[in-house]
Structure 1
Amino acid sequence: MAKNKMLTKNVFQITTVFLVLLFCDVTFSFKFEDDKFLPPENFKDMRTDEIIKFYGYPGEEHKVLTEDGYILSNFRLANPGGYPILLLHGMTATSDSFLLRGPRYDMSFLLWKRGYDVWMWNARGNIYSTEHVNMTYKDEKFFLFSIQEYGQYDTPASIDYILNMTGHTSVITIGHSNGCGNVLTMAALRPEYNDKVLLNIMWGQAVMLKYELFKGMMEMSYSMYTRYMNFDHDQSVMKKGSEKLELVKAFCNPESPLLSSLCLMFMGLVSGPNSNQTDFYAVKRMMTKFPAGSSMNAFKQMMQNMRSGEYKPLSYGVTENMRRYGTREPSPYPLGEVKIPTAMYYSCCNDFLSSKADNKLLKNKLTNVIKFQTISYKKFNHGDFLWAKDGYELLYKDVLVLIHKYTPSKYRSEIPIL
């Protein structure tokens, strides 16, 4: 009997030592290097999970299957057990847009440090999401999707995947630019998902575009592209490996001082000029992965909404509209049906892609806007949401406080937000 007790005690001690060693190995296997510099020319050849690991943090890739057969490559800044947050990039961007400045400054890393499990979405058709169960990336049919599919299929699939992986029943979402429409479209078309998003945060929404300051230039660029550049009627836009994308990459080559300077000037013009918040290395990193691919239908829907001043599905012409929608023209998305608590952050005066008037227009269409916040710096532009030098004081701190408030109490960090 005594011998059995001694054996049990030894087994227990050995097991305890093994678990401690295992825990220590997991704990100290990450060597955080927050101040490590990532050159833009290296950034362009790295995937999202590789960028995360470059700084010593846990990065993962996850394949997500949508209901209509697309396979999305989403990435995770892994914090198992933490409350999940999903970041949604803008048009023709990627998950890399949330990793432009490094662990000391990027919202993705700031959330991870407060215990959140951070997930980053990639839209169908961009450089990461190039797979389908029945089609190849080279098939023209692969790109017969519009903005609607981002909200109707991609975002619900991503949320369900996260919930199945983590055991949680809801997530918090943060969208930038066009990515702000994903959750709204989802909740409007699929009401059951209203309960799966605890809080929806929008940065520089590009949902309502009626009063966009860059509207004239967008109209001209779209017309020139469809008439003179897209002579082969390609259904993709700047897809991975295309000649058009290679030309853009050559123009924005981070290794060329002249070309990268011209590229920076262009980004400043599009985002909003004369901001003193621009982190030039962050912009150079962004431009190595932007544009990252989308579809002509997505751009067509965006232009139609810009012209109509509404947020509604793509119009395919009377005959096809009757078949798809049962009406000659598609009706606007029922945004009044969105029940998710929503916070809107916007620039008052210098965001050429998201005007103050359009933010107010969207606010009036929603029924549960719990925060409508203008950025205090008047020259804050569209790109500054991602790379502002004073991003923490101007935006991220307030967002962290709001997220903390909505996070279930048992998942809240005890670290003060200073």
Structure 2
Amino acid sequence: MYQIDLSLKRISCVLFVFLLIWCVTDAVDDNRYLSPKKFGQLRGDEIIRFYGYPGEEHKVLTEDGYILTNFRIANPGGYPILFIHGLTATSDCWFVGGPAHDLSFRLWRRGYDVWLWNGRGNLYSMDHVNISWSDEKFYKFSMHELGYYDTTASIDYILNVTGHKSVITIGHSMGTTNVLIAAASRPEYQPKIALNILLAPGAFQRNLVTRGFSDTSYSQYVRWFNFDHLERILEKDSFYFKINQLFCDPTGPTAELCYFSMGLISGLGSNQTVKDAVMKMMTKFPAGTSLNVLKQEIQNLRSGDFSPLSYSRKENLKRYGTPKPSPYPLGKVQIPTAIYYGCCNDLLSHVKDTKLLKSRLPNVIRFYKVPYRLFNHGDFLWAKDAYRLLYKDIIILIDQFTPYQYRSNVTIEPVSID
């Protein structure tokens, strides 16, 4: 009797999901045009609903009191997937291509329950239980806290809401460090992650083409431009944020220069870059973070290691029990990990550093080089042929690591040949 009741519940759940998809799909318009200007005016859940998809906002409380605003393309009953954005970005970076293109929407159409993370300090996650975002104490965090607190809190929240026991995670750029930090620092979270997908990893930075420029820029900013010794940088409504908004106004006179500057940062020469998608990205990028996040990146860039932020000797002893923090023990991260990388034109993620990361992780189950030499850092988000070059392989892999009872029955789209 119990087995029959359980089967009926599963059948009812499946029927509910199909009914929801049918009802929503009836109103979906994947080709509805959303201009960069309008994109910049909408919040993440509003962008999702603009195309007729079920967009939700979720508030997530971390152990240390930060309140994150995460978004969801809701698919109740579907297996959960958590998207993690990169440095000073927001979850909206996963929407810049539109539903017909983006991996987030493609996975929803396959029946997955899609969740999108926003780290503390960006324009969506500026709340705390007892500290105002205008207080410098709010920004006393580094990359470590983004993984140790924000990512783990988001995973727990998703599992609590959905009833699932694990999630699949997808990170881009610095967002690839979150799960690595969480898993290395809090091993109890490893069973909660069925698969960790890293796009253009940002853990090691020994060989970056922009290494010298990044180091010098940070040093000059700290020495000459941060005269108020602020803990924050590029946050919402700051001077630099407003300047960037003017510079990257999609309808303004400097829009072309803004577009070129993103190519300069990501890697010039790619024929995959979609201008409209880039300009959407730039309406909310950079979106703010703590100076300590950049400081940790620069420390790792200089040392060649992947380690927590180093403070004073006294503070290090208090936090880590050692005069200097030890590198994250990546060798203990047993989560099945897939690494996707560009070989030759990604200025923010070098192939040598990617191979170093692969050598440190004990369970890399996919190491995929994008089959286009000029594929750049931003192309992982907006490449016009992303499905053919990248997303189809990711979708097939995700299906394989999804518990069998939740695997999609939707046929994999063939790759179109132009």
TM-score range, shorter chain: over 0.9
1:177 aligns with 2:192: no
1:401 aligned onto 2:396: yes
Q: Do the aligned residues in 1 keep the contact of 2:24 with 2:52 (CA within 8 Å)?
A: no
Q: In the alignment, is the contact (CA less than 8 A) between 1:238 and 1:294 conserved in 2? A: yes
Instruction: Pick one of 209, 214, 224 that aligns with 2:220.
Output: 224
Report the Cα offset of residue 28 of structure 1.
Answer: 5.4
Sequence identity percentage: 57
1:64 maps to 60
**Code of the aligned partner of 1:116:** Y
Alignment of 1:93-132 (within 5 A): 93-132=89-128
> What is the identity, as a one-letter code, of the residue corresponding to 2:133?
Y
Name the CA distance, whole Å, in 1 between partners of 2:171 and 2:142. 18
2:211 is matched with: 215
Contact between 2:24 and 2:54, CA under 8 Å: does it hold in 1?
no
TM-score normalised by L of structure 2: 0.93
Q: 2-side partners of 1:98 and 1:230: how far apart?
A: 31
User: Secondary structure at the residue paired with 1:345?
Assistant: strand
Q: Alpha-carbon deviation of 1:317? A: 2.2
User: Post-superposition shift, 1:243?
Assistant: 1.4
Give, in whole Å, the separation in 1 of the partners of 2:117 and 2:53: 18
Alpha-carbon distance between aligned partners in 2 of 1:403 and 1:123, rounded to the nearest angstrom = 24
CA distance in 2, matches of 1:238, 1:278: 25
Tell me the residue number matched to 1:193: 189
How high is the TM-score relative to the length of structure 1?
Answer: 0.93
What is the match of residue 38 of structure 1? 34
Residues 262-411 of structure 1: pairs in structure 2 closer than 5 A: 262-411=257-406
Per mean C-alpha deviation after superposition, the further-off stretch among 223-232 and 82-91 is: 223-232
- 2-structure distance, mates of 1:274, 1:28: 39
| SS at structure 1 position matched to 2:254 | helix
SS at match of 1:163: helix
CA deviation after TM superposition for structure 1 residue 25, in Å? 11
- Structure having the higher Rg: 1
Given candidates 256, 267, 271, the residue that maps to 1:261 is 256
Alpha-carbon spacing, 1:105–1:72, altered in 2? closer, same or farther (3 Å)? same
Check 1:101–1:368 CA distance in 2 against 1; reply closer, same or farther (3 A cut).
Answer: same
Give the direction of change, closer, same or farther, for the CA distance of 1:29–1:344 in structure 2 (3 Å limit): closer
- Between the aligned partners of 1:56 and 1:171, the Cα distance in structure 2 is 25
Stretch deviating more after TM superposition (341-350 or 317-326): 317-326
Distance 1:25 1:392 in 2: 22
Q: State the distance in 1 between where 2:254 and 2:214 align.
A: 22
Corresponding position: 1:146 with 2:142: yes
Question: Structure 2: 5+ residue runs without aligned partners?
Answer: 1-14
CA contact (8 A) 1:79 1:112 kept: yes
CA RMSD of superposed structures (Å): 1.5
SS at 1:212 equivalent = coil
Residues 88 and 175 in structure 1, CA contact (< 8 A), matched pair in contact too: yes
Partner deviation per Cα, 1:180-213 (whole Å, 9 max, x = no partner): 0000100101011010000000000011111111
Q: 2: CA distance between counterparts of 1:43 and 1:282?
A: 10
Structure 2: distance between partners of 1:149 and 1:265:
33
Q: 1:250 to 1:415 in 2, by over 3 A?
A: same
Q: CA deviation at 1:224?
A: 2.1
* 1:320 Cα deviation from its structure 2 partner: 1.7
User: Could you tell me how far 1:29 is from its partner in structure 2?
Assistant: 8.3
Between the two proteins, the alignment pairs up a number of residues equal to 397
